Amino acid sequence: MRPLIGITSYFVSGEELGDFHERPRGATGQDMAMSTMDYARGVEKGGGIPVNIPVINEEDYIDKMVEKCDGLLFSGGPDISPYLYGADPDSQCGKVIPARDEFELKLLEKAIEKEKPVLGICRGAQLINVSYNGTLKQHIDDHRDGLKHHALIKFPRWYKAHDVEIKKESHIFKAYKKEKMKTNSLHHQAIKEVGDGLTVTAKASDGIVEGVEDKDKDFLVGVQWHPEMMYFKHEEQVEIFKYFIENVK
């Protein structure tokens, strides 16, 4: 039987979408729960049944959602509020959605409590780090600390941007069977101080953290790149979804 995989979604407020004539869907004032099809297709291709998780910050809902899901995928999205990792906001920090931050941290805490397998992608990996008391670089570019530019939004979403070096014995290595591969790069924030209890399992050539896991858990893994945007063009990228689903089973 295919396992049920909950996927976190974007929370887009009615105010952000504008009035009836400006917004693509819905009536004026309606909040929207959105998710790109790439995540759902990646989970389905990996052998799971994808289900979107709307942002509803109610304890009973969160508890029941985690109970029903066999595994959880924490998806990409806007920046995480700097206050959650003890930092003042940088002028280059992007849009933050506090309601989503608060909800997803509770969801992740409950998933860990119930020992559910967790995969975090991009923002999802950063959220894992913050939940483990780690911090984030609020903005990275080629003018700071010798780091390369990682938000390559002018390229196709599947474009191989840079090498990622993968540590042996990690879940990421077991998924891809490689110590090095090229990935896309669509993020302007990154892990700074690694959270307590997390192990870095992959890095870009400039030292940016590209993978983390909690080795004391059966499966709690974060990757900084977007395999869901690559697998249909580069088939190897579906392996992380297959491996995740197998661990869920």
Full 3-state SS string of 144-178: CCCCCCCECCCCCCCCCCEEEEECCCCHHHHHHCC
Is the pLDDT at 229 greater than 60? The verdict is yes
pTM: predicted TM-score of the whole model, two decimal places = 0.92
Query: What pLDDT is stored for residue 56 in this prediction?
Result: 96
Query: What pLDDT is stored for residue 154 in this prediction?
Result: 73
Looking at per-residue pLDDT, the higher value among 128 and 20 belongs to 128
Sorted by where each starts, the structural domains of the chain and their CATH numbers stand as: 4-248 (3.40.50.880)
Q: Across residues 195-212, what is the average pLDDT?
A: 94
- For residue 185, give the nearest of 173, 168, 203 by alpha carbon: 203
- Range from 51-65, 81-95, 160-174 carrying the lowest mean pLDDT: 81-95
Is the pLDDT at 126 greater than 90? The verdict is yes
Place of tokens 């896309």: 184
Place of tokens 């530019």: 149
Is the pLDDT at 146 greater than 60? The verdict is no
Looking at per-residue pLDDT, the higher value among 18 and 84 belongs to 84
Query: What pLDDT is stored for residue 230 in this prediction?
Result: 86
Is the pLDDT at 223 greater than 90? The verdict is yes
Q: Across residues 43-57, what is the average pLDDT?
A: 96
Burial class (CB in 10 A: 0-12, 13-18, 19+), 37: exposed
Query: What pLDDT is stored for residue 147 in this prediction?
Result: 56
Q: Across residues 153-169, what is the average pLDDT?
A: 84
Mean pLDDT of the chain: 90
Q: Across residues 189-197, what is the average pLDDT?
A: 93
Is the pLDDT at 143 greater than 50? The verdict is no
Query: What pLDDT is stored for residue 151 in this prediction?
Result: 63
Provide the percentage of residues in the chain whose pLDDT is more than 90.
67
Query: What pLDDT is stored for residue 145 in this prediction?
Result: 57
Number of helices (H), then strands (E), belonging to the chain: the values are 7, 13
Q: Across residues 189-209, what is the average pLDDT?
A: 93
Q: Across residues 110-138, what is the average pLDDT?
A: 96
